[in-house]
Chains A and B, each alone.
Chain A
Amino acid sequence: MKAKVIVTPKKTVLDPQGNAVRDAMRHLGMPEVRNVRIGKYLEIDLDGKDVDLEKRLDGLCRDLLSNPVIEEYSIERLSE
């Protein structure tokens, strides 16, 4: 299976990178931009597709791919 993992900074964590991009977008003629948050996108190829594999992937999202103190993550299964 293929999985897409998106890691984003929690709302309570300051995202100076996102703010800098937001300001640049406003400067470039898009005053409508209210907020930008920058995260990470991971595309993961896995052998197999059982429930146990998904569960273990979820565990590693929590332990390695994100830091729960500052980040949130979501997993999406991609159809092949």
Chain B
Amino acid sequence: MKFAVIQFPGSNCDQDCIAAINSIAGLHAEYVWHKETSLRDFDAIVLPGGFAFGDYLRCGAIARFSPIMQAVVSDARAGKLVLGTCNGFQILCEAGLLPGALVRNRSLRFVCEMVTTRVEVANSPFMHGCSEGTLLRLPIAHGEGCFFADPETLRELNRDRQVILRYSDRQGRIVPEANPNGSIENIAGICNHERNVFGLMPHPDRASDARLGSADGAKIFRSIMETINANRAEAGSSLAEQVA
């Protein structure tokens, strides 16, 4: 199964993503330069962290107009799984594939630390096998990761269970003290309405090896693979039914 890792000028977690994905049996990741125009050969798309185009104007504001983004948007609309981590999350929001926006951390500080996040929705395509309340230890490193959405959007996100991850304390409580950046309602990661596009500020790519402090991030990459396999098995069996 082939994953695309998009490289924008200024991406700096592309290598981490490639290493994390390639460490999982059955997965193979390849770089795709932002000037490319097709992602036809790939089963899933990853937008890595970094500072695409220097974060000039706003994080992700210029990257969303890169040629490859047309392919990302059309493949996402066709149902392909798309993951955006950190800067990748910001780009997905700017591109309109995810609601809301990411603004300057409330503390005005760049935060670089290990945090605990709580899985809010069981068995989403990106959290296969994770029950609600599962705690994931993941690192964050960002200056503009404060999630913002207007009240109506926030209501929809909660109603349609699109909030996948929230910052929590080690006991899994969603408390203000566990919020590293001032995100509204401790939101760390959300998916779109169709549930095939997922963005999160933490770095699963930097938490895919226990020797680096946590391997919880690998669960997300593995989950994408399992979801694709499950969808294919389902498509295969319905095809078999039609033929029979």
Contacts and interface: CB of A to CB of B under 8 A. Distances in A.
B103 interface: yes
Contacts of B100: 69
B210 interface: no
Contact of A67 (B58, B107, B108, B150): B58
A14 B101 contact: no
Contacts of A9: 103
Nearest to B153: A69
A20 interface: yes
B100 to A, nearest CB: 6
Interface size class of A (residues with CB under 8 A): 10 to 19
Contacts of A16: 104-108, 182
Contacts of A17: 104, 108
Which of A20, A40, A65, A67 is packed against the most chain B CB atoms within 10 Å? A67
B61 A14 contact: no
A28 interface: no
A64 interface: yes
Given A67-B94, A69-B148, A70-B148, A13 B103 contact: yes
Interface residues of B, number: 21
A67 B106 contact: no
Contacts of A65: 57
Interface in A1-18: 9, 12-14, 16-17
B238 to A, nearest CB: 39
Given A64-B57, A67-B58, A67-B101, A13 B148 contact: yes
Contacts, number: 38
B239 to A, nearest CB: 41
A70 B101 contact: yes
B31 interface: no
Contacts of B106: 14, 16
A69 B150 contact: yes
Nearest to B149: A69
Contacts of A67: 58, 61, 94, 101
B62 to A, nearest CB: 8
Contacts of B105: 16
Contacts of A20: 108
Interface string A44-80: 0000000000000000000011010110000000000
Interface of B: 57-58, 61-62, 65, 93-94, 99-101, 103-108, 146, 148-150, 182
Interface of A: 9, 12-14, 16-17, 20, 40, 64-65, 67, 69-70
**5 nearest A-B pairs in the assembled complex, by CB-CB distance:** A69-B101, A70-B101, A16-B106, A16-B108, A67-B101
16 contacts: A9-B103, A12-B150, A13-B148, A14-B103, A14-B146, A16-B182, A40-B57, A64-B62, A65-B57, A67-B61, A67-B94, A67-B101, A69-B99, A69-B101, A69-B149, A69-B150
